[in-house]
């Protein structure tokens, strides 16, 4: 190893040891499941909000957004513009729904609205989706970091996976939240360091970056025409709306943070902190890509010209960032991954214990549940490491295809059951089940369509990014169609479960 690699590796090792140390510190505070899952409902709103930011910004974001801006423009900024609007809806509506009683997961609401079967169905699908996300994020962050630190992919997967599992399994939600706070600050610091490194090396400084960006139309938000088979503003906007609604209404990692706050006011503060921090953060990553594009316009490189866009940022760190400082950026990339991974592991543990174990064993004592929660976190971590290793054995060009296939399959149990539960009274258990089956069938159709396995007359020209929104719309249409034939009876059992039957939240909550 050369001097730069050793310096960068030392910085990363110090960061990993600090994260492990935080897990040891919080280990002693987890005496029961209330503390393990919700931190005793005493975590301040500002910390929860920063944790939400860290959870939303994975290693995929850290690496993919600069690459997208480098090769194209800012069209990936359009989906993020929906987040502040949906956050305000969450402040007004979603948070009161989830804080009306001392629930722990989002799926407890579904049981009250539709019954135990829907709750279990959605909870299991959510766990499968989180496990897929864990494996993909860990693998994708290992790709550049193994090259930057000159270690094997298998070694990197094991090292980063074990450290993340350690502080998550033993530290519980408090370790997740407070490490997220540290990781998010490191993440933002790393992005700023990279941008400053470009600015200081450009002959014309910051103005030259803006001039080159304007010259090559790098600040465009994409084409304006109405089309579902291209990444137009319409497509990206719809993706953003559905993604933000899913994030704030049914993502267990977010709902868990609503509930972990001591009061409704602190939960709302957390959501607003997340909303106002996420958009500038995403813009910062996109601008990083513009900076890299401008840099290599001024300092052309034959090697960079032959690279894939995803490889340009790691190459810049290796060749243009000072020893040790590059380690900070590598740690920032790792922090982006670890904050998302730890949140998902804890969410899986919570869903398993609250939505599955308690349905099987109603009279389980708290010590038994706490032990099972830690075991579930450990199993999720093992599956994450094994899944990332398994993905590493697939040819790289197949990784994103694999993600698209499984994502299309899992989208049928996402947003729409919550939206129909919140905003309608006529959609009952049978209607939502009918909608879920229709969405699942559409998912299979979409996979066949995407890979060209359908006869030409049956194909539909739609961009793969629209699979999730359209799948949810299919569920909506099917559930409403069923309800026209057999509407659910509106009874007192819906009190507090829809916007039409919601009473004020008690002050103590």
**What is the predicted pLDDT for the residue at 132?**
84
**What is the predicted pLDDT for the residue at 258?**
92
Q: Of the given ranges (30-34, 113-117, 196-200, 260-264), which has the lowest mean pLDDT?
A: 30-34
Mean pLDDT of 422-431: 89
**What is the predicted pLDDT for the residue at 200?**
93
**Sequence-distant (≥ 6) Cβ neighbours of residue 172 within 8 angstroms:** 26, 29, 30, 35, 36, 37, 39, 346
Q: Of the given ranges (152-156, 284-288, 347-351, 403-407), which has the lowest mean pLDDT?
A: 403-407
**What is the predicted pLDDT for the residue at 188?**
86
DSSP-H helix ranges across 393-502: 399-410, 416-423, 429-450, 467-485
Q: What pLDDT, in 10s, does the model give residues 369-413?
A: 888 889 999 999 999 999 888 877 765 444 545 555 566 556 555
Tell which wins on pLDDT, 334 or 245: 245
Cα atoms in the Cβ-side hemisphere of radius 13 Å centred on 93: 19
**What is the predicted pLDDT for the residue at 413?**
55
**What is the predicted pLDDT for the residue at 30?**
74
Cα separations (Å) of 312 from 136, 284, 304, 384?
21, 17, 6, 27
**What is the predicted pLDDT for the residue at 97?**
80
- Domains in the chain (CATH in brackets) are 11-393 (1.20.1730.10), 398-502 (no CATH)
81: DSSP letter: G
Q: Of the given ranges (32-46, 167-181, 293-307, 480-494), which has the lowest mean pLDDT?
A: 480-494
* HEC sequence for 206-238: HHHHHHHHHHCCCCCCCCCCCCCCCCCHHHHHH
Query: Residue 492: is its pLDDT beyond 60?
Result: no
């Amino acid at each position: 190893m050369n001097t730069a690699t050793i310096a960068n590796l030392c910085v990363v090792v110090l960061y990993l040891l600090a994260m492990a140390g935080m897990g040891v510190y919080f280990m002693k505070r987890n005496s029961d499941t209330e503390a393990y899952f919700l931190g005793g409902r005493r975590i301040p709103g500002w910390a929860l909000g920063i944790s939400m930011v860290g959870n939303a910004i994975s290693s995929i974001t850290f690496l993919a957004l600069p690459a997208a801006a480098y090769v194209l423009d800012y069209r990936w900024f359009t989906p993020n513009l929906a987040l502040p609007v949906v956050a305000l809806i969450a402040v007004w509506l979603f948070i009161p729904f989830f804080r009306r009683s001392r629930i722990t997961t989002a799926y407890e609401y579904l049981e009250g609205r539709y019954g135990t079967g829907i709750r279990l169905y959605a909870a299991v699908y959510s766990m499968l989706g989180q496990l897929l996300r864990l494996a993909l994020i860990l693998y994708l962050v290992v790709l550049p970091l193994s090259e930057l630190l000159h270690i094997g992919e298998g070694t990197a997967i094991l090292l980063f996976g074990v450290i993340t599992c350690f502080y998550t399994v033993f530290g519980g939600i408090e370790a997740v939240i407070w490490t997220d706070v540290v990781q998010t600050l490191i993440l933002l610091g790393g992005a700023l360091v990279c941008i400053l490194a470009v600015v200081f090396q450009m002959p014309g400084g910051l103005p030259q970056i803006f001039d080159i960006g304007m010259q090559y139309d790098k600040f465009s938000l994409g084409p304006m025409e109405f089309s579902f088979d291209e990444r137009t503003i319409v497509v990206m906007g719809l993706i953003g709306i559905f993604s933000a609604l899913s994030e704030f209404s049914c993502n267990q990692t977010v709902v868990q943070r609503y509930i972990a706050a001591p009061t409704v006011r602190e939960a709302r503060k957390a959501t607003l902190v997340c909303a106002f921090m996420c958009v500038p953060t995403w813009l910062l990553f996109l601008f990083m890509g513009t900076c890299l594009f401008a840099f290599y316009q001024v300092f052309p490189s034959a090697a960079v010209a032959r690279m894939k866009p995803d490889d340009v940022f790691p190459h810049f760190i290796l060749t243009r960032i000072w020893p040790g400082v590059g380690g900070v950026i590598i740690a920032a990339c790792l922090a982006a991954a670890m904050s998302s991974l730890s949140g998902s592991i804890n969410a899986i543990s919570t869903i398993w214990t609250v939505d599955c174990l308690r349905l099987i064993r109603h009279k389980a004592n708290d010590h038994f549940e706490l032990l099972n929660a830690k075991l579930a976190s450990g199993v999720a971590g093992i599956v994450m490491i094994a899944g990332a290793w398994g993905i590493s054995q697939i040819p790289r060009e197949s990784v994103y295809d694999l993600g698209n296939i499984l994502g299309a399959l899992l989208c049928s149990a996402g947003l729409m059951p919550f939206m129909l539960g919140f905003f309608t009274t006529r959609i009952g258990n049978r209607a939502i089940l009918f909608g879920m089956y229709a969405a699942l069938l559409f998912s299979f159709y979409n996979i066949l369509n995407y890979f060209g396995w359908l006869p030409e007359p049956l194909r539909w020209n739609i961009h793969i990014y629209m699979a999730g929104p359209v799948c949810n719309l299919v569920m909506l249409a099917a559930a409403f169609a069923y309800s026209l034939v057999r509407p659910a009876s509106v009874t007192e059992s819906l009190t507090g479960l829809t916007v039409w039957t919601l009473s004020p939240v008690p002050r103590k909550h």
